[in-house]
Chain A
Amino acid sequence: MSKIHVQTTINEEATEFLCEPRESLLEVLRETLGFTGTKEGCNDGNCGACSVTLDGVLIDSCLMLAVEAEGKSISTVEGLANPEGLHPIQQAFLEHAALQCGICTPGFLVASKALLDHNPEPSEHEIRHWLAGNLCRCTGYDKIVRAVLEAAQTVRASA
């Protein structure tokens, strides 16, 4: 099949690419565009390592064809920090040692950002429920949940 031209916005930058219809958004992000911060853990929607937001909605980028991104706005882990510094969620993950190997971390960060955008004051249970689609095998989630609780506070305080 010939490749398809797709116009999209990634981390607030207008971005265009060519892709085969069978290529997933994850594959294009990583291989074509070099956004390797978005990770592949299972390629079937069960681990959340490839989490991105699509027009603000949290999704697994492995379960979307790249061609479906036409006209959409995508945010990845690379878009969290800005020149002024890390996002409070990133900072909280560092200070709480909420990562060990770090492979699931980008997905957790993107998912946590989406949570706080949707619910600025989540309870522990709401955090656990929201993040259940992101698997971590290293931490037992304790420090991740604590980091999100603290980041929520920081975000609220600065709002």
Chain B
Amino acid sequence: MSAGNGYKVIGTRPVRHDGVDKVTGRAVYGGDTRLSGLLYGQVLRSPHAHARIKSIDISKAQALPGVKAVLTGADLPKTGDTIVDLGEGPARLKYMSDNVLATDKTLYSGHPVAAVCASNVHIAEEALDLIEVEYEVLEAVLNLREAMKEGAPQLHPDMTTQEFGEDTGRTSNLATHFQHKLGDPDTAFASADVVIEREFNTATVHQGYIEPHNATAMWNADGQITIWTSTQGSFAARAQTGAVLDIPVSKIKVVPQEIGGGFGGKIPIYLEPIAAMLSKASGQPVKLIMTRPAVFESTGPTPGSHIKIKMGANKDGKIVAAEAYIAFESGAYPGGLVGAAAMCVFSCYDIANGLIDCYDVVLNKPRSFAYRAPGSTQACFATEHVVELLAAELGIDPLEFRLKNSATTGTRRIDGVVYPKMGCKEVLEAIRDSEHYKSAAPSGPNQGRGISLGYWFNVGLQSACTASVNNDGTVSLSEGSTDIGGSRTSIAMQFAETLSLDVDDVRAQVVDTDSIGHTDVTGGSRVTYATGWAAYKSALDVQAQMCERAAQLWEVEVDQVAFEEGVFSSGDKSYTFKELSGHLDETGGPVIGRATVNPDSGVGGSFAANIADVEVDPDTGKVQVLRFTVIQDAGKAIHPSYVEGQMQGGSAQGIGWALNEEYYYNKDGQLDNSSYLDYRIPTSLDLPMIETIIVEVPNPGHPFGVRGVGEANIAPPPAAMAGAIADAIGVRLQELPMKPSNVLAATQASEGQAALAAGG
């Protein structure tokens, strides 16, 4: 297996080191945690979308035999107005705490109000029915545009709007309003030959990970707390839990168990403080696993949006100005994802003049959280629609139009960022050169093809890595990044490459928060990039120490020891890495390499594109995907199978978002589709094979050129699907999901207009 490019390990496809455990059922996920004396917890949730909690009577629940402890929001430490920044920007601690267990008000149906632990899960559940909560039901608002109106029911009477960085002192559901501006958009629009403006709505959707949230905690008599959980970030879970419980992080050890998907939704904590408090009260370890309805009702969702896009171009096909109005649901608490949307909305294109106007709005839905390139999918759906219309209006091929306007090295985004070397144009060229694009578009009745281009900026953040060299030349690598898709192996590969080792001789393991330096979340497409970089640096540290050992053995100066192709040498003396490892005990003992990174520059963003072929059933509005290709810039694909896997997974999620996924609330503000039956993620029968084309424009900001590939791939699918549907039936939808009833209604409306036009 040769990797090319002079690499021995990078670019190959070894079997993941945790693979056998995962195909034999032996891998221990959070829910599989088993401890002596384990109790089982359950959470009582508000049936009301908006209500004041007048009283909670837990006495009957406490009296039920088998119940060991009952908890309400009143049992959590009072947090006052403390502002904390735990990796997601500054937030009021009270909001985080109230989202774990409500105190004064419940702000969405499914909002936790109490918790119980008992000797088994059924008794705990029975106890929930015995908790008496008296609510004063308040008027709720679940529609974004309604929530923004004056006089809308207000979730936080004391929350004032932050506008352009200033506190306005005005209370409303508008948490934040900000803008980015570049150049002179008004003048540029006035000079444009073509200006097109459209309006879009996208539904609230969920990350949809198959594993429900879970947490198991043991609060020891000495005040030390251990938490076993499925989290995207053990250190983030520790920090958030410590903040909510008002306990120093040194008192908490988070043991990251295997995690069954996250996609951004397992960055926030939900159950961890509850498990800890129930354990404290009962003196025994407590495990909580969310029910599936609770997962949908209380966690995750990524924002529904209302977006307006206006773009202007010249006759020669150059986009001269762009303007976006982006309003995002933040859910029950402020601090949503509209900022990220602003960083993506026009970021595929080189546009000299622009304005991005953003609104973060609270409403009676669960607090919004990241979902794979958060904010980018909604924005991409809107922008690509207008890009297609501009190209059509100008009579330019839409791919040519994109190539003409493609962002490139030195492009300044409207939010001010200037691009280093980026693969935008290369991704577009890969569309053009693909077999799929060159093949005839499907030409049957109601069939069509669409293309789209999307972006995610990726993040760096902190990672740590330690490498213990064993005396047989194998290496035990410890790192703190939860492995959700094979990252242990991608990290081990970078270590192995650096020292020319066999990848199977490097065993990477994800360790707990007491055993490794601070490592930020598995998110932002950062793990292969940043933790891989830490592995690379720790390998260099090992190399330096091993050179010293060789120098000692050979009685030469360390600078006289060379290391090349896995061999240490000096003059005619040489040792392989394995041979030298056998001499560690006589040269001072074990070698441990260590490294930390916090790359604040050099993070390489990634562009992704799609070609989608669809067929629409004109009688029912149902869309079938006939063929689908995803193209993405990986910088350098460390493990190509995992890169393809990310691309395919993001595509599938994007297709689900495009076609069927949405939160469906009833008139009382309760979620009517809180199951996989009615929250319709794609099944295997809904998708074709997903073809992948990996583009490699090395990231100059990483030793191996890596760009994270976890996210950008979810941005373009809804736009590509919309384009394909438009090509098939002549109607370009402005709303997600493009579910059958919406497609049919749009078709009928368009036919109605056509008939009207013909008749008039």
Contact = CB atoms under 8 A, between A and B. Distances in A.
Is A in direct contact with B (CB under 8 Å) within the complex?
A: yes
Interface of A: 20, 22-23, 27, 30, 34-44, 46-47, 49, 76-78, 80-81, 86, 90, 93-97, 99-106, 109, 124, 127-129, 131-146
26 contacts: A37-B26, A42-B292, A44-B676, A77-B24, A80-B23, A81-B24, A86-B23, A86-B24, A90-B20, A94-B19, A95-B15, A97-B642, A97-B645, A100-B642, A100-B645, A101-B484, A102-B27, A103-B260, A131-B683, A135-B676, A137-B210, A137-B263, A138-B261, A140-B648, A141-B687, A146-B689
Interface of A is mostly: loop
Nearest to B489: A97
Given A42-B676, A46-B676, A135 B648 contact: no
Interface string B16-39: 101110111111110110100000
Given A41-B676, A44-B676, A135-B683, 9 more contacts: A36-B29, A39-B211, A39-B260, A94-B16, A97-B641, A97-B644, A102-B18, A102-B258, A146-B689
A103 B261 contact: yes
Contacts, number: 183
B485 A142 contact: no
Given A43-B292, A78-B24, A101-B211, A139 B683 contact: no
Please name the 9 residue pairs, one residue from A and one from B, whose CB atoms are nearest each other, closest first.
A37-B25, A103-B260, A140-B652, A140-B648, A102-B22, A97-B641, A100-B485, A46-B676, A36-B32
Contacts of B652: 137, 139-141
B25 A35 contact: yes
Contacts of A97: 13, 16, 486, 639, 641-642, 644-645
Given A42-B675, A46-B675, A78-B24, A101 B485 contact: yes
Interface string B664-695: 00000000000111000111110101100000
Contact of B23 (A38, A46, A105, A146): A105
A113 B685 CA distance: 18
A143 B641 contact: yes
A100 B292 contact: no
Given A80-B24, A97-B13, A128 B685 contact: yes
A41 B521 CA distance: 23
A137 B486 contact: no
Nearest to A42: B292
B684 A132 contact: yes
Contacts of A77: 23-25
B684 A131 contact: yes
A106 B20 CA distance: 11
B391 to A, nearest CB: 29
Nearest to B206: A137
B4 to A, nearest CB: 19
B172 interface: no
Interface of B is mostly: loop
B373 to A, nearest CB: 15
Interface of B: 13, 15-16, 18-20, 22-29, 31-32, 34, 121-122, 207-212, 258-263, 289, 291-292, 484-486, 639, 641-642, 644-646, 648-649, 651-653, 675-677, 681-685, 687, 689-690
Contact of B677 (A35, A44, A95, A139): A44
A44 B22 contact: no
B712 to A, nearest CB: 15
A81 to B, nearest CB: 6
Nearest to B485: A100
Contact of A140 (B22, B211, B690): B690
Contacts of A37: 24-26
Nearest to B38: A31
A36 B644 CA distance: 29
Nearest to B25: A37
B642 to A, nearest CB: 6
Given A34-B34, A39-B29, A80-B24, A44 B210 contact: no
Contacts of B122: 20, 22-23
A2 to B, nearest CB: 14
A35 B26 CA distance: 9
Contact of B648 (A23, A41, A142): A142
A78 B25 contact: yes
A134 B25 contact: no
A158 B368 CA distance: 51
A61 to B, nearest CB: 13
A22 B517 CA distance: 45
